[in-house]
Structure 1
Amino acid sequence: MAISRRTTLALGAAAAASTVFKPYVARAAVPFEQPPLPYAEDALAPQISARTVGLHYGKHHKAYFDKLNELAPGTPYADMTLEEVVKQSKEKGDDAIFNQAGQAWNHIFYWDQFNGGPTEPTTALEEAATRDFGGMTDLQEAIVTEGGKVFGTGWVWLVQDGDKLAVRGYQDAGNPLGDNLKPLLGIDVWEHAYYLDYENRKPDHIKTVLAERVNWTWVGEKLAG
């Protein structure tokens, strides 16, 4: 069958378009994107140095997203929110996915809690801390103590457990989402979070950022929300 000039031109245009747009297809958006750091790298200094933030956010946090985006395509996780991935992978015991998704989510929370800090706690948070710990100072001491108990890598979290505040330590990528607890504050106690600034003095790192970096108003708003 003869091919008309119009058909030939159409086919040529289609082939050209295919060639032009192939790189775009190859750059299709990944399922999960690391949010921008909510402040400059030096904004948390001197309590957390610009060098630590640069390595922590630019290398470690980014790596969790990169690895998650290698593992998630072709799985049901690719169509979930990051929080859903954390919960579902924890429930299913899918450690390979959970470790990456958990750390990706944990660090978003971690950076956000310092934005605009330090600030005073809300009245509701102060009252809850007094009721459950004896006061804000006692609450912070409980977080430092629990963080010191985390062996090796992990996190220490302030959570809302029903009507009460509680402090929980978790290994590795662990967080309260998998236990159906509401996270209010999370301190990273992996060495990459503090070693350049505090060396092996992990409790000093926790105590300092609680007292001088955390936006306690932000924490209190999460309690109320």
Structure 2
Amino acid sequence: MRNIIYELMNHIDFQLKIKNQKFDWFVSLRKSVYYSLIVHLVCVIIIQLLLGIDFSESARIRIKKIKQFAVELKELEESKPQVTIEGLSKRDTTTNKLEKVIFAGIEIDTTSIINRYEENTLNVSILFPVGWIYFDNQVKNIIDGIIFIPGENSNYDRRLSVLIQVNTQKNLFNSGLYDSSFTFNRVEYYISKPQKIFEQVTQTVYIRTGSFKADFIIKLTSPNEIEFKKFQSTFFAMVRSFSAGY
């Protein structure tokens, strides 16, 4: 009898627990529904408020500012001074010329002397014009002379020539044969006046090298005075470019 009563009490207690759990679940479900309804209601209210705002005024303000900026930019462009040729100063329009190179009192022309002659017995080196050719000669395995003449494609008269002579008898030098002298790169240059014999014009430069074993004579020969004047500035550019082992 006691066992029956105990089982009955357990059954009643189990049923009560089930009812309590069902009640708690129902309460939780009801709260969730309430919260969901409230959230949806708030969202609907916010959306309605946003849809009710008039953005046209702010858009008009932005458009007005853009137009105002465009007008100010145009005024700024128009206010810039227009630079014209008439407005430039003489200093602005002057083209800088290449610096003049003066040698032996003459403005020399180095633009055409782009070829180089070199030899190793006396370490002679000299620049000569494009389109020219040369012939050299040695005596006892030492350079004795070089002659430069215009080639077939040269723009100069082919009767022009530049002769370089090697003078090993330095004691025979006579400065009285030359009109002027100067020193350049520690070497003495003696220059004669142009000499005209019939139509032919010649000019000679003597280079004294000090203690070096040889002096050098560079002589220009021209068929006439016109060709001489035409080539003289290039001739002295060749003389200036000359060097040897001194």
Higher relative contact order (CA 8 A, sep 6+): 1
State the TM-score, normalizing by the size of structure 2: 0.28
Which of the two has greater helix per residue? 1
Q: Which one has the largest radius of gyration?
A: 2
State the TM-score, normalizing by the size of structure 1: 0.30
Which of the two has greater strand per residue? 2
